[in-house]
C-alpha cells in the first residue's frame, strides 16, 4: 500500500459555479445549517 | 393489502434486486468487487450514503416519534454537517491518498496490526448487531400489522439482499440503492400529500401546524443545558457531531460508499450533499409524524396502535376492562375533538382570548385522553407482562394501511422494505470487506490469488447475512427501534473515533498506548451505560475523550516509537 503522489486536496477544483474553493463550499454548508436551525426556531416560535 | 398492493410490492423489490445483480454480475477482481469500478458520480455517492444510513426504521419509527414526542429528535442530526465537513477535510483525502479498501487498513498503517484489528473487530461487533436490528426492526412491525410470519419476513428480505450483494459486490449495492431511495422518496411524498388531502375540509396547513404546535409537537430546538434530556441543541451539536463523525468517518459501511467516487471531488460533493440534505430530510419525516398526530385529532385513533396485539388481548381477557378503557378513550377523544374545533373556530374568528381559553381546554382534554391511553397500556402490560408497551412504531404504518388508496399501500410497504434492503446491503458489503481485507487477507491467507479473495468475499457476505438473519430471528427488543440502533452506535462509536483522531492528529502516541487505552475505555463506556443515567448521545463524546486522554497518559508512562509520517495529516 504505497501512497500515490497527489496534489494538495484543498487545491482541487470544486467545479461548482461561484464556489471555486472547498473552503467556500464548507462555509456555504455551514451557512445552510444556520439557516435550517433558524427556520426551525422560527417555526417553533410561530406555532407554539 | 390487495393483489394490486402485492403486485406493486414484489415487482418493485424483486425488479430492483434483479436489475442490480444483472448489471454488476461481471465483477471478477477484488478491487472492483470491494470498491466498485471507480466511476461513481457525486449524486450517486450522495444517494448511496443517504440510503445506507436511512434504514426502514427511519421511515417507520421516526414518524411515530414525531407523533408521540414531536420533532425535537431532529436535533440529533445537528452535528452531522460539521462532522461531514471534517471528514472532507481530514479523513477523505488521506483514505484516497493511501488507496485503502477499509478505514481500518489506515489504522494498521499508522499504528500496528493489533490496533487495526481492534478497530475492525469493534466495527464487526457493533455493525453485526446493527445489521440484525436493520432487518428485525421493520420485520416485527410489518409482520405484525400484515399478519405475516415474522420469521418468514426476516428470512425472505434477508435472502434477497444477500443474493444481489454476493453477485455484484459494492457496485450492486450502489446501483440498487439509487432506485431504492427513489422508491422511498416517492412513497413518502405520496403519503404526505394523501395526509394533507385527508385533513378535514377547511383546515389549512397553517391550522394543522397551529394544532401541532399547540400540543407541543413542534418544539424543534431546545437550547437548555441539561445532560438528562435526550435531545437538546447542545447534545445534538456535540454528541451528534461525534456520532456522525464516528459513523461517517470510521464505519466501513459508510467509508466504502464514498471511497467509490471516481475522484476526491465526487466523494466530497457526495458528502456535502448529505450535509445539506440530512436535517431537512429528517425534519420532513418527523413533520409527517406531527401531521399524522393532527390528523388523528379529527379522526378517532386506536387506543393502542399495535392493533394485532390489542385485538388478541381483548379476546383473551374476560374481565371487560380493556373494552371499558376503549370506550372511555373514545369519549375523551370526542371531547378533545370538539374543543380543538372550537379552538380553531376562535382562531379563524380572530378572537385571541377565546383562542387561548379553548386551547387550554383542548390541552387538558388531551392530557385526559393520554391518561386513558397510559392506563390502557398498564392494563395490557398487567395482562401480558412480555408485551411491548411502546406502540409509536405502529402509528405510521397504521395510518398507511387504513387511509391510503390501494396500490399506494403496496408502494409504501415496498418503500419500507427497500429501505431495509438498501441499508442492509451496505452493511453486509462493509462487513464482508472488513473481514476479508483486515482479517482474512492480512492475518490468515496473505498470498492467495485475486479470484480466491473475491470468492472468499462472497462467502463472507453470505456468512454476515446469515448472522444478521439469525440475530433478527432471536432478537427481542423493547426500546423504540431507531433509538436501539443509535444506542448501540453511541456506546461503540466513541472509541473507534478516538483511534482515528489520535491517528490523524497526535503523532507522538504509539499503537500500544492507543490499543490499551481503547480496550480500557470501551469496557468503561459499557459499564457506564448500564450504571449511569446519562443521555446516550453523550457516550460518543465521553468514549472518544476518555480514550484520547488515557492514551496520552499511557504514552507518557510507557513511551514508544514515532509513527510513519505518511499516514498522518
pLDDT tens readout for residues B323-379: 899 999 999 999 999 999 999 888 888 888 888 898 899 999 999 999 999 999 988
Chain segment B408-424, per-residue pLDDT in tens: 898 888 888 888 888 88
HSE at residue B229, side-chain half, CA atoms within 13 A, is 17
HSE at residue B97, side-chain half, CA atoms within 13 A, is 18
Residues 6+ positions from B163 with CB-CB distance below 8 Å: B17, B21
Q: For position B490, what pLDDT does the model report?
A: 79
Residue B394 lies in a domain: no
Q: Do both B149 and B268 map to the same domain?
A: yes
Residue A4 lies in a domain: no
Distance between CA A21 and CA A33 in Å, rounded? 19
Q: What is the least distance, in Å, from the CA of B563 to any CA of chain A?
A: 15
Q: For position B515, what pLDDT does the model report?
A: 94
Residue A7 lies in a domain: no
Contact map slice: A 4-23 vs B, CB within 8 A? 4, 6, 9-10, 12-16, 22
Q: Average pLDDT in the B480-489 region? A: 67
Residue B36 lies in a domain: yes
Lowest mean pLDDT segment, chosen from A2-6, B44-48, B216-220: A2-6
Q: Do both B406 and B382 map to the same domain?
A: no
Q: Do both B486 and B559 map to the same domain?
A: yes
Q: What is the least distance, in Å, from the CA of A45 to any CA of chain B?
A: 9
Q: What is the ipTM of this complex?
A: 0.86
Q: For position B130, what pLDDT does the model report?
A: 80
User: Which residues in chain B are contacts of A41 at CB distance < 8 A?
Assistant: 220-221
Cell of B289: 409524524
Residue B103 lies in a domain: yes
* Residue B266 reports pLDDT greater than 50: yes
Q: Is B99 on the interface with A (CB under 8 A)?
A: yes
Q: What is the least distance, in Å, from the CA of B186 to any CA of chain A?
A: 23
Q: Do both B30 and B172 map to the same domain?
A: yes
CB-CB: which of B218, B263, B275 is closest to A48? B218
Chain segment B135-164, per-residue pLDDT in tens: 887 787 778 777 888 888 888 888 888 988
The DSSP-derived string for B136-157 is HHHHHHHHHHHT--HHHHHHHH
pLDDT interval class at A8 (50, 70, 90): low
Q: Do residue B283 and residue A6 have CB atoms under 8 angstroms apart?
A: no
Q: Is B356 on the interface with A (CB under 8 A)?
A: no
Which chain A residue's Cα is nearest to B106?
A1
Q: For position A2, what pLDDT does the model report?
A: 45
Q: What are phi and psi of A16, to 5 degrees?
A: -100, 135
Q: Do both B353 and B260 map to the same domain?
A: no
* Residue A10 reports pLDDT greater than 70: no
Distance between CA B440 and CA B216 in Å, rounded? 53
pLDDT interval class at A31 (50, 70, 90): very high
pLDDT interval class at B465 (50, 70, 90): very high
Instruction: Identify the domain containing residue B70 by its residue range.
Output: 3-295+400-567
Residue A11 lies in a domain: no
CB-CB: which of B81, B99, B220 is closest to A4? B99
Cell of B352: 385571541
Yes or no: say if B260 and B38 are a contact pair by the CB < 8 Å rule: yes
Which chain A residue's Cα is nearest to B100?
A1
Q: What is the least distance, in Å, from the CA of A2 to any CA of chain B?
A: 7
Q: How far is CA B123 from CA B51, B60, B130, B415, B516, in A?
A: 19, 26, 10, 28, 17
Residue A8 lies in a domain: no
Q: Do both B111 and B255 map to the same domain?
A: yes
Q: What is the least distance, in Å, from the CA of B326 to any CA of chain A?
A: 30
User: Which residues in chain A are contacts of B213 at CB distance < 8 A?
Assistant: 44, 46-48
User: Which residues in chain A are contacts of B105 at CB distance < 8 A?
Assistant: 1
Kindly state the DSSP code that residue B443 receives in the 8-state scheme: I
Distance between CA B153 and CA B397 in Å, rounded? 16
- CATH, residue B117: 1.20.1730.10
* Residue A3 reports pLDDT greater than 50: no
Q: Do both B484 and B408 map to the same domain?
A: yes
Q: What is the least distance, in Å, from the CA of A7 to any CA of chain B?
A: 10
Q: For position B475, what pLDDT does the model report?
A: 65
Which chain B residue's Cα is nearest to A11?
B265
Q: Do both B235 and B359 map to the same domain?
A: no
Q: How far is CA B201 from CA B103, B197, B256, B295, B391, in A?
A: 54, 9, 49, 12, 29
> Number of structural domains, chain A?
1
CB-CB: which of B78, B93, B210 is closest to A9? B93
Q: Average pLDDT in the B386-404 region? A: 85
Q: Do both B365 and B443 map to the same domain?
A: no
Distance between CA B151 and CA A1 in Å, rounded? 44
Q: Do residue A32 and residue B276 have CB atoms under 8 angstroms apart?
A: yes
> Number of structural domains, chain B?
2
Q: Is B443 on the interface with A (CB under 8 A)?
A: no
Percent of chain B with pLDDT over 70: 96
Higher pLDDT, B486 or B157: B157
Which chain B residue's Cα is nearest to A48?
B213
Range of B78-82, B153-157, B444-448, B528-532 with top mean pLDDT: B78-82
Chain segment B519-562, per-residue pLDDT in tens: 999 999 999 888 877 777 778 888 999 999 999 999 998 876 55
Q: Average pLDDT in the B425-451 region? A: 89
Residue A48 lies in a domain: yes
Single residue among B387, B422, B439 that ends a domain in this structure:
B387
Residue A12 lies in a domain: no
Residue B301 lies in a domain: no
CB-CB: which of B93, B109, B283 is closest to A40? B283
Q: For position A4, what pLDDT does the model report?
A: 46
Q: For position B480, what pLDDT does the model report?
A: 54
* Residue B569 reports pLDDT greater than 70: no
Cell 421511515 identifies what position? B59
* Residue B32 reports pLDDT greater than 90: no
Q: Is A34 on the interface with B (CB under 8 A)?
A: no
Q: For position B168, what pLDDT does the model report?
A: 79
Q: For position B492, what pLDDT does the model report?
A: 86
Q: For position B546, what pLDDT does the model report?
A: 94
Residue A10 lies in a domain: no
Q: For position B567, what pLDDT does the model report?
A: 55
Instruction: Identify the domain containing residue A45 by its residue range.
Output: 23-48
Please state, rounded to an integer, the average pLDDT across all residues of chain B.
Answer: 87
Residue B256 lies in a domain: yes
In B338-487, DSSP assigns E strands to: none
Amino acid at each position: 500500500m504505497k501512497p500515490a503522489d497527489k496534489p494538495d486536496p484543498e487545491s482541487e477544483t470544486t467545479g461548482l459555479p461561484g464556489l471555486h474553493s472547498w473552503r467556500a463550499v464548507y462555509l456555504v454548508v455551514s451557512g445552510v445549517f444556520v439557516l435550517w436551525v433558524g427556520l426551525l426556531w422560527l417555526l417553533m416560535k410561530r406555532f407554539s | 393489502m390487495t393483489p394490486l398492493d402485492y403486485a406493486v410490492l414484489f415487482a418493485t423489490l424483486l425488479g430492483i434486486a434483479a436489475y442490480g445483480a444483472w448489471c454488476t454480475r461481471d465483477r471478477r477482481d477484488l478491487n472492483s468487487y470491494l470498491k466498485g469500478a471507480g466511476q461513481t458520480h457525486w449524486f450517486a455517492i450522495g444517494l448511496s450514503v443517504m440510503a445506507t444510513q436511512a434504514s426502514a426504521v427511519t421511515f417507520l419509527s421516526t414518524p411515530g416519534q414525531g407523533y408521540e414526542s414531536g420533532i425535537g429528535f431532529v436535533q440529533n442530526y445537528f452535528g452531522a454537517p460539521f462532522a461531514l465537513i471534517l471528514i472532507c477535510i481530514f479523513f477523505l483525502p488521506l483514505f484516497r491518498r493511501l488507496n485503502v479498501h477499509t478505514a481500518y487498513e489506515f489504522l494498521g498503517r499508522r499504528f500496528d496490526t493489533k490496533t487495526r484489528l481492534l478497530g475492525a473487530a469493534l466495527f464487526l461487533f457493533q455493525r453485526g448487531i446493527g445489521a440484525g436490528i436493520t432487518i428485525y426492526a421493520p420485520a416485527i412491525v410489518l409482520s405484525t400489522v400484515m399478519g405475516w410470519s415474522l420469521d418468514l419476513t426476516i428470512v425472505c428480505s434477508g435472502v434477497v439482499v444477500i443474493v444481489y450483494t454476493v453477485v455484484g459486490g459494492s457496485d450492486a449495492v450502489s446501483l440498487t440503492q439509487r432506485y431504492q431511495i427513489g422508491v422511498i422518496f416517492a412513497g413518502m411524498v405520496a403519503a404526505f400529500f394523501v395526509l394533507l388531502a385527508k385533513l378535514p375540509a377547511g383546515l389549512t396547513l397553517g391550522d394543522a401546524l397551529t394544532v401541532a404546535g399547540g400540543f407541543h409537537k413542534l418544539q424543534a430546538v431546545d437550547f437548555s443545558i441539561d445532560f438528562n434530556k435526550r435531545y437538546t441543541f447542545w447534545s445534538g451539536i456535540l454528541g451528534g457531531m461525534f456520532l456522525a463523525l464516528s459513523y461517517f468517518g470510521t464505519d466501513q459501511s459508510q467509508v466504502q460508499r464514498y471511497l467509490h467516487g471516481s475522484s476526491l471531488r465526487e466523494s466530497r460533493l457526495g458528502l456535502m450533499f448529505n450535509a445539506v440534505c440530512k436535517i431537512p430530510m429528517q425534519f420532513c419525516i418527523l413533520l409527517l409524524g406531527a401531521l399524522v398526530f393532527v390528523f388523528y385529532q379529527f379522526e378517532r385513533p386506536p387506543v393502542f396502535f399495535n392493533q394485532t396485539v390489542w385485538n388478541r388481548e381483548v379476546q383473551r381477557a374476560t374481565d371487560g376492562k380493556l373494552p371499558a378503557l376503549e370506550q372511555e378513550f373514545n369519549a375523551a377523544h370526542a371531547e378533545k375533538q370538539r374543543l380543538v374545533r372550537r379552538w380553531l373556530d376562535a382562531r379563524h374568528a380572530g378572537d385571541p382570548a377565546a383562542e387561548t381559553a379553548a386551547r387550554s381546554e383542548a390541552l387538558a382534554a388531551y392530557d385526559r385522553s393520554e391518561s386513558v391511553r397510559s392506563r390502557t397500556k398498564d392494563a395490557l402490560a398487567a395482562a401480558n407482562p412480555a408485551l411491548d408497551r411502546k406502540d409509536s412504531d405502529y402509528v405510521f404504518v397504521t395510518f398507511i394501511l387504513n387511509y391510503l388508496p390501494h396500490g399506494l399501500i403496496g408502494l409504501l410497504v415496498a418503500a419500507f422494505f427497500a429501505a431495509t434492503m438498501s441499508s442492509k446491503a451496505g452493511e453486509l458489503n462493509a462487513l464482508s470487506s472488513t473481514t476479508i481485507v483486515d482479517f482474512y487477507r492480512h492475518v490468515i491467507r496473505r498470498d492467495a490469488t485475486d479470484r480466491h479473495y473475491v470468492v472468499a468475499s462472497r462467502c463472507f457476505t453470505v456468512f454476515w447475512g446469515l448472522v444478521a438473519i439469525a440475530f433478527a430471528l432471536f432478537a427481542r427488543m423493547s426500546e423504540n427501534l431507531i433509538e436501539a440502533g443509535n444506542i448501540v452506535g453511541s456506546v461503540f462509536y466513541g472509541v473507534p473515533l478516538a483511534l482515528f483522531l489520535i491517528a490523524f492528529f497526535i503523532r507522538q502516541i504509539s499503537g500500544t498506548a492507543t490499543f490499551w487505552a481503547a480496550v480500557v475505555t470501551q469496557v468503561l463506556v459499557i459499564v457506564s451505560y448500564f450504571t449511569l443515567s446519562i443521555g446516550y448521545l453523550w457516550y460518543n463524546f465521553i468514549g472518544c475523550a476518555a480514550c484520547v486522554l488515557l492514551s496520552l497518559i499511557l504514552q507518557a508512562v510507557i513511551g514508544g516509537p514515532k509513527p510513519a509520517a505518511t499516514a498522518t495529516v
